[in-house]
Amino acid sequence: MILQITLDLRLRPLCFEDHREMARLANNRKIWRNLRDLFPSPYTEEDAKEFIAIYQGERMPPTFAIEYQGNFAGVVGLVPQSDVYKKTAEVGYWLGEPYWGKGIMTQVVKQIVRYGFEQLGFLRIFTGVFAYNLASQHVLEKAGFVKEAVFKNAIFKDGQVTDEVRYGIWKESDISE
């Protein structure tokens, strides 16, 4: 499944050929600082291959490659929750540094939210952002997310304790352009 956002921007399934560019872009401390420790640093081609293998071939994929002007630029995905939260997903994303500041991620987040609500049947999508990641907070707010809570001293990353800012959006929310 391909989700066309603009002429230059689309979400598509991950493919094995992405592994070199994924590793090149993801092997960046500025990206690693804003993601959970599951995201390796350094990020190798082997890491990229393993990640792609997990998500390749999903029928209704919750994970997509971000493609900008025909180039692999990052990853966005929805992580379905379980039990009483089964109609909820967590959104996660990263974008290669050469693509920062172009408004790409706001469009991507809006599209993945639409997809999650309309195609996957979620009623709520949330995420947590490290307090120092103001750019990601701005993306979420521009995409219609609401700041719901600040969890004090919830994150320990790179030898630093910081707050986690939680954002959510629900199906009744206006996610139009």
Q: What is the pLDDT of residues 10-69, one digit of tens each?
A: 999 999 999 999 999 999 999 999 999 999 999 999 999 999 998 887 777 799 999 999
Cα end-to-end span (Å), the chain: 22
Contact 163, 150 (CB under 8 A): yes
Q: Please state whether the predicted TM-score (pTM) of the whole model is above 0.85.
A: yes
Confidence of residue 176 (pLDDT cuts 50, 70, 90): low
Domain 3-123 has CATH 3.40.630.30: yes
Q: What are the boundaries of each domain within the chain?
A: 3-123
CB neighbour class for 29 (10 Å; exposed up to 12, middle 13-18, buried from 19): exposed
Q: What is the pLDDT of residues 59-99, one digit of tens each?
A: 777 999 999 999 999 999 999 999 999 999 999 999 999 99
Task: Round to whole Å and give the CA distance between 3 and 61.
Answer: 11
Q: Which runs of consecutive H residues, i.e. helices, occur in 27-174?
A: 29-32, 45-55, 104-118, 134-142
Task: Round to whole Å and give the CA distance between 89 and 75.
Answer: 16
Decide if pLDDT at 177 tops 50: no
> What was the pLDDT predicted at 1?
84
